Chain A
Amino acid sequence: MSLPRITHLPSGRLLSTILHHQPLLPSIIPLTVPKRAVIQGLEGIKKHFTLLKKEFTDRWVGPEGKPIVEHMLEQNRVVWEFRGPESLREWTVSSDREIGGHSEAYLKLGRNNNTCFLYGTLSSTPPRDGETRYSGYCTMRSKQPLASFDRKKHHDWSSFNTLQLRVRGDGRPWMINVSAETYFSHQKDDIYCYFLYTRGGPYWQDVKIPFSKFFLTHRGRVQDDQHPVWLDKVNTIGFTLGDKADGPFQLEIDFIGVCKDYAHTEEFAYEAYKRNPEV
């Protein structure tokens, strides 16, 4: 903002301007804020305060706003259900177009607005930046849940041990990525992955993956020191496709839920001790 120009007058005349009430500065137009922004701002404030009030009152009902009996005996929980356009706003879709590749990915509601439909094209020609060797991926990731005033909130799935989803794919192998909250900054890209094999065909496929099968990766590389995913602070879940087959793809998801399978007693599917000791 530039300062308004003060009229240049010799010092003798300055005194006279005060006496004669001549304006030194040109009149400043008062700043007007567009009405729409004001309304949006007020709505935002209302939303945040409502969330804050809800957080305070939920503690009196029980953990996570549910009575404690319900929380303890809960066996299934539907976390994401695609039943309307607002459910798509919780998801982010990206592909290797960001690094210069040629894949495309789009998200829309499926038939009867009852499912989400992720579709697009994969192209594995690497971008010509001299350092990328492999390319051709696309991903759909859920947004981090937010509490009042945009503070990070986490999913607490500590009472569950299986991820269950109903999908209808086209035969391509997808990968499910679960990202948990970490303490150190270099653990930021730690993702726990497992495969989602689709059969293809017109029938819905129920997929049940226990959380003990998820292995730890960092930036796409499987790590040596493995440990089971900590479910008490899960941030996001994502689906990614990178099977090096160029062409169109589609995936339809009905719902994503977590459940407690009493028959599943495995804690972790991979060896957790140090397998490649140092020299």
Chain B
Amino acid sequence: MKGSRCLHQLKSLRLLSHAGRRLPPAAAAAGDNGALFRLHSSSLLGGSQCPQREVLRHFHSSPARTKSQPARFVQEEDKTRDKSLVAHDDLFEQVAKETKTKATFNKVIDVYTKRDIRRRGHVEFIYAALKKMPEFGVEKDLTVYNKLLDVFPKEVFVPQNFIQRMFNHYPRQQECGVQLLEQMESYGIMPNTETKVLLVQIFGEKTHPMRKYQRIMYWFPKFMHANPFPIPKQLPEDPVDLARFSLTRMANDWDAKVTVYQLPCTDITDSGAEVTLPHIVGIQSPSQMEALAKHNPCRPVFVEGPFPLWMRKTCVYYYVLRADPAPPEEKIEEPYDPERCFMYPLQLDLDLDRDLGDDESFDVEDLDDGPVFAMCMTSQGDQATLNQWISGLQQSNPILGQIPTLFRLGAGPRELQGVGDTDSASGTWFSSHAHKEEADPGEDAEAVVEEEPRRSQGVKQ
């Protein structure tokens, strides 16, 4: 309680200093603010409310707001004053005819606050505004939330004694404040000190919105960096850059090199038809190149895909070049070459003194899915594009010319799709060993095509 009273005194002092300067323009202004200042200064000087004037509660705006000169919304006010009986949703719908931006959203809030000093129906207005935020694109903007919180009249809902504190003073307004903070929390926006000051002025301390704010401020910093694979808030727009970022993320190897085999472009063929060439971005690390070089040419390699990768709300698809795990008799353990590294020995034959039972490995058989030789991302996952990728890979891995390559492509969405566009009905899941096991009835048929071992380079199909 003391805190809010101090704030109140601070504010009143400020307003008093402003009062002298403000009175002349306030007298001319379309006037709620003017009336406010006049009333307030008179009450301070008088020490009590003037009985002749109407008993108006003091709806103080926060100190942050007094800095900016309230803009004149004369035309909007006239427009809306005629429709004084409309519900609050309609205020937003009127704006819907123009473009929905942050400026128009702020304008609507200003129109509402200037309209009535008593802020009638502010709870419904705030609920309607919270619902319309995603349409205006301001749901992740903290300043807009603070401005919306400013719609609440100040110091009216602060409990004055212990009975009011006990009995959930002004429950509807407290619930509305909590819902506003909950929407902020669900979008992951961290409130700042201005939010705290506003909440203290509006609701006081030890109220539900203040508690909710304290909980947000306790848990958000704890979980903000919990992700060991962080994703930037703003993903790159360019599909090639996005592919590069996601491939390096999946590759888990600093030495992996990203190669762009083809940039997206639109060609016009001789017949006049437009042909869009998709981008092809591939990644391969030196250890994968070595593994591919040692691969037995009798065993085929498979191009599988598309597999989904989600980053926040974007889903991209990638393709994988892999082989089946070698049967146990073919696995040979090559001894480490001691000349590979002179800094430290790569293989130690020491019997380290470990305690009985000090074994950190799990008693699970190691799953061997087979080596992965390369990955790629492309917007159009048909065989022609993937062929191009393989031919591009062949330049750095000549052994690919002798290894038969099989394509196992699932019939799923092939393009870079955002949220809500993905076709969930068709199976994007690949089923392994389709030619050995029976295919799952729910999945679509896959295209399995045998490629000729010889492959001319740079062929465009």
Contacts and interface: CB of A to CB of B under 8 A. Distances in A.
Nearest to B214: A276
A269 to B, nearest CB: 8
Interface in B419-446: 419-420, 422, 424, 428-429, 432-433
B360 A200 contact: no
A275 B216 CA distance: 13
Nearest to B223: A195
B310 A171 contact: yes
Contacts of A74: 357
A203 B372 contact: yes
B226 A195 contact: yes
A254 B206 contact: no
A170 B310 contact: yes
Contacts of B312: 245
B246 to A, nearest CB: 8
Given A81-B364, A114-B367, A222-B219, A202 B307 contact: yes
Contact of A275 (B218, B315, B318, B322): B218
Interface residues of A, number: 47
A275 B222 CA distance: 15
A49 interface: no
B99 to A, nearest CB: 26
A174 to B, nearest CB: 11
A145 to B, nearest CB: 20
A91 interface: no
B322 A202 contact: yes
Interface residues of B, number: 54
Contacts of B360: 75-76, 259
Nearest to A73: B357
B358 interface: yes
A172 B310 contact: yes
Interface string A58-81: 000000000000000111101001
Interface string A206-245: 0000000000000000101000000000000000000011
A257 interface: yes
Residue of B165, B320, B429 with most chain A CB atoms under a 10 A cut-off = B429
B215 A171 contact: no
A247 B363 contact: no
A270 interface: yes
Nearest to A194: B226
B252 interface: yes
A1 to B, nearest CB: 44
Nearest to A275: B218
Contacts of B165: 279
A268 interface: no
B94 interface: no
Interface string B213-252: 0110011001100111100000000000000001001111
A249 interface: yes
Contacts of B222: 269-270
A246 B423 CA distance: 11
Nearest to A224: B215
Contacts of B357: 73-75
B359 interface: yes
Contacts, number: 125
Contacts of B322: 202
A75 B166 contact: no
A173 B246 CA distance: 16
Nearest to A200: B309
Given A75-B360, A222-B219, A111 B432 contact: yes
B44 interface: no
A247 B250 contact: no
Contact of B215 (A200, A222, A259): A222
A85 interface: no
A257 B362 CA distance: 8
Interface in B179-237: 186, 206, 211, 214-215, 218-219, 222-223, 226-229
A241 to B, nearest CB: 10
A164 interface: yes
B311 interface: yes
B356 interface: yes
Interface in B340-374: 356-364, 367, 369, 372
A246 B215 contact: no
A197 B312 CA distance: 11
A244 B188 CA distance: 12
Nearest to B355: A73
Given A201-B249, A222-B219, A248-B424, A279 B310 contact: no
Contacts of A177: none
Contacts of A161: none
A75 B358 contact: yes
20 contacts: A73-B357, A75-B358, A76-B359, A76-B360, A170-B309, A172-B310, A197-B226, A199-B249, A199-B252, A200-B250, A201-B252, A203-B372, A204-B369, A245-B419, A246-B420, A247-B315, A248-B315, A254-B367, A257-B364, A269-B222
Shortest 3 CB-CB distances between A and B: which pairs? A201-B250, A73-B357, A121-B424
Given A201-B251, A202-B307, A202-B322, 12 more contacts: A119-B429, A164-B362, A171-B308, A202-B250, A202-B320, A244-B313, A247-B417, A248-B315, A250-B429, A269-B222, A276-B214, A279-B166
Interface of A: 73-76, 78, 81, 104, 111-112, 114-115, 117, 119, 121, 134, 164, 166, 170-173, 195, 197, 199-204, 222, 224, 244-250, 254-255, 257, 259, 269-270, 275-276, 279
